[in-house]
Amino acid sequence: MDHLAAWRKAQDSRIPDPNAVPTAAHLRRLLEASQAAARFYRRELFREKKGWSRDYLKRGGALAQLDEGSRWMVGYAPASRSRLVDHLRTLGFDLKTMRNAGLGVVGADGRLVDRFRDQLMLPARNDRLQIVGFTGVRRNGDGIYYSSSPNTQIYRRSGSVIGIAEQLEILAGRGFQF
């Protein structure tokens, strides 16, 4: 497919242009959707009492550190087709915002569905420590597979870090100043 054909396909699919200049209100709404998704994923991790994700965290010794009061925002994306999309809709987020934040994708039936399913979720933060995207960890046979949010108007893989807010808090508690 040549460049022009790819561009037309993107326009037809309404894929958001990550290079478009957004308004401050639009960016704020994308950040709010990402924060709401992180809270949702966290609740889902503690709602699931069984499953591979909890076993995986328990084996590595991390589950004990991730109680509901922990600053670590590790969560779980359930295996359902649209639980996050449905939840965000009840919070007043529209489908375009969810898609533009990288939280949903258009399924074969034309409906918006969850981008991440049956995955441990690690929030990625920008230089202002705002949640801007996610890295998902899922089983793949005997191994582990990682997937990330797509580049969006708030998320660039090269410009975000996982665990930075939590690590800065630990270092500040040990006398380091930032």
Domain 22-173 in this protein, CATH class: alpha beta
Q: At what angle do helices 83-90 and 24-47 cross, to 10 degrees?
A: 120
The residue extents of the domains of the chain are 22-173
pLDDT of the residue at 170: 63
Give 17's contacts (C-beta < 8 A, 6+ positions apart). 10
> Does pLDDT of 64 surpass 90?
no
pLDDT of the residue at 66: 72
Q: Percent of the chain beyond pLDDT 90?
A: 52
Question: In which band, very low, low, confident or very high, does the pLDDT at 22 lie, cut at 50, 70 and 90?
Answer: confident
pLDDT in tens, 135-168: 999 987 777 888 999 999 999 988 887 776 666 6
Q: What is the pTM of this model?
A: 0.80
